[in-house]
Chains A and B, each alone.
Chain A
Amino acid sequence: MGGQNTSGQKVSGQNTNFLEVRGLDLDVGGFELRDISLRAEEGDYVAVIGPSGSGKSLLLETLIGFYNPKAGRVFLEGRDITDFPPDKRQISIVYQDHVLFPHMTVFENIAYALRKKLRDKTRIEEEVGRIAGLLEIPHLLFRKPTTLSGGEKQRTALARGLVVRPKLLLLDEPFSALDVRTKERLREVLKKAIKEYSTTVLHVTHDFDDLWALADRVLIIRNGKVMQEGAPEAVFKRPSPDFVAEFLGTNLLKGRVREREGKLTVLELEGKSPGSERESMGLDGMNPGKVHSGLILYSADPGEPGEKLSISIRPEEIILAGGVLESSARNMLKGTVKDIVKKEHLVSVNLELETGSGRGSGTGSGTGSCPEFRAVITPMSCELMDLKIGKEVYAVFKAANVRIIR
């Protein structure tokens, strides 16, 4: 490793990975991690995603020192911390269910984290006040955790985890039990706090929105093994194994901002989805910027006119309609069914979109080939709509479901 000399001592000033996990093996009560390796630079925000039971939480609890690995090493700032107890690692963890000490108030919970670091009462109060302000909880400081809402508890847990300025902050699905609006607000607040405290973060999540909103890098894990890692856009563009493509399964399109229309961003599409079946088999249909599809989409995300970007639309957020649908959704694209793939509980419908048709797409220049698009519906809906290859349908989705990725 770059930061160490031949005697194994840490050498300062050299380019060392801030966090490096090498070949980690662990077996705890039926759950396994196998040959996990990962790296993160200082200040990185790494999202760890994967199906339930894939070992994501176990990985975090091993990094913080709650479990001893069978094999492999963990380095933080170039120091081998594999055998360090949790109290010597300077790593904090925030769980989905908060794990706030019930016998302490919000203030005491946060101050408790600091008391080993700071002796001065005034300094502790200052630091608690500062993080409470950032997470917008000063009015809750003297309440007990049992009296707080889910979002308030999570803000407190985040404040407690961050206040000690940990070298590494581990987040174990911190937003998964919250409603959509609370999640969105908390992501903004967390982003601000992370920036302020310059902390490196490893965030386990199921939610792709966490990934787009927060992560610089993504690590996809399955059955205790890392399947792929890289920048979110790169991983979504080139999901290497079939599992990753199927797991991510999003419609990823290329485009540019055409203009702003009120609070919405008008986007002009240029490419195809790498999440499509063809792409996952290695047939790369991505040709960003070269083909102008003429399709127009509305997004609720902000964007600057002329800006080139990627657009993600989750297949399960698309409604298929047999005809023009009167609805509040801003995007309605006409297409032809190209393929129908029946899975256990869902049906994946691949569409070839028609240029210059439907709401939100009529103003394009309408030249060249159309992007491929995937929607996921239930088998019953598929039967009711009598979907067949070649049938014309409309794909309807909200501007809020069109996510801009930079």
Chain B
Amino acid sequence: MRHSAFRNISTGIACFFTCLLFLAVGTLPFILKPSTLLEALLSAEMLYSMKLSLLTASVSTFSVMFFSIPTAYSLSRYDFSGKALVKSILGLPMAFPELVLGLALLLLFGQTPLGTGLEALGIRVPFSKPGIVVAQFFVAFPYAVRVIYSTFESIDRRYEQVSRSFGYGDFETFRNVTLPMARGGLFASTVITFARCIGAFGAVLILAGGSYMHTEVLPVTLYLNISYGNLDMAITSGVLLMAIAFLAILSFEYFEGGKT
């Protein structure tokens, strides 16, 4: 069967850029010798960075999911004044650079009554580990809300209405019907959120600072070691971030992409 020229050209473009991306990313783990990779992986700095990344990303992911589920549900199911404005503001961080988000958060938690108030309570956000969590939270939150919102929108409201007709209230219906039916989307959102948190760089660097073995998470390790000219460590942290991203995308495709 003869294919049209348009079909051949568009498929060719898709294949070319996929190969280019694969070459750039797929060869990264093989640039280093396995022994060098292992040595860098087991270095004190890398172990600290990995541990801090996993810890902060886990706390951030939990917080993001805890707050994004009710946020997305209210946006999906209820009408209230200012809803369009809320949706626009929540979507803003997806559109502007992470560095700007980091700067805005630094100012909010540094010089405003919120920042000084928290500091008076003994919670210091700028240039500290909690700052990493805050930065990761605001980077990932809009994405999580978007994914969960789409999940709730895809659930026919009649399931909830049928549950209500059997005497269950709003929250009981949400817990018994909506949440279990949204399980796949919530899982995908958790994975994507975790990947966003662990890979967050610009906002983390500005708000928490890039201090060696203090607020050093994997992207910061990559950045610092590139700055020092230590390519082995930089590549190793890159490989780690890539592996996490790959696992996240794989899980997302499995649960959201028709379980293929």
Q: Which residues of A contact B (CB under 8 A)?
A: 61, 64-66, 85-89, 91-93, 95, 99, 101-103, 112-117, 164
Contact = CB atoms under 8 A, between A and B. Distances in A.
28 contacts: A64-B165, A66-B161, A86-B161, A86-B164, A86-B165, A87-B168, A87-B169, A88-B167, A91-B165, A93-B161, A93-B162, A95-B158, A99-B156, A99-B158, A99-B162, A101-B163, A101-B177, A101-B181, A102-B181, A103-B180, A112-B163, A112-B166, A112-B176, A113-B166, A114-B166, A116-B168, A164-B166, A164-B167
B183 interface: yes
A366 to B, nearest CB: 57
B159 interface: yes
Interface in B143-159: 156, 158-159
Nearest to B173: A87
Nearest to A104: B180
Given A93-B161, A113-B166, 8 more contacts: A66-B161, A86-B164, A92-B165, A95-B158, A95-B162, A103-B180, A112-B176, A117-B167
B165 A101 contact: no
Interface in B170-200: 176-177, 180-181, 183
B165 A103 contact: no
Interface in B93-117: none
A286 B217 CA distance: 90
Interface in B117-166: 156, 158-159, 161-166
Contacts of B156: 99
Contacts of B165: 64-65, 86-87, 89, 91-93
A93 B163 CA distance: 10
A240 to B, nearest CB: 34
A340 B53 CA distance: 82
Contacts of B168: 87, 116
Residue in B158, B167, B168, B183 whose Cβ sees the most chain A Cβ within 10 Å: B167
A113 B162 CA distance: 9
Contacts of B166: 87, 92, 112-116, 164
Nearest to A103: B180
B161 A64 contact: yes
A116 B158 contact: no
A91 B161 CA distance: 11
What 4 A-B pairs come out closest when comparing CB atoms? Answer: A116-B167, A86-B164, A103-B180, A113-B166
Contacts of A116: 166-168
Nearest to B157: A66
Nearest to A94: B162
A115 B166 CA distance: 9
Contact of A103 (B161, B167, B183): B183
A203 B17 CA distance: 57
Most central of A86, A88, A95, A101 by chain B CB within 10 Å = A86
A116 B165 CA distance: 11
Contacts of B161: 61, 64, 66, 86, 93
A61 B158 CA distance: 10
A116 B167 CA distance: 6
Q: Which of B158, B166, B181 has the most CB of A within 10 A?
A: B166
Contact of A101 (B159, B164, B167, B183): B159
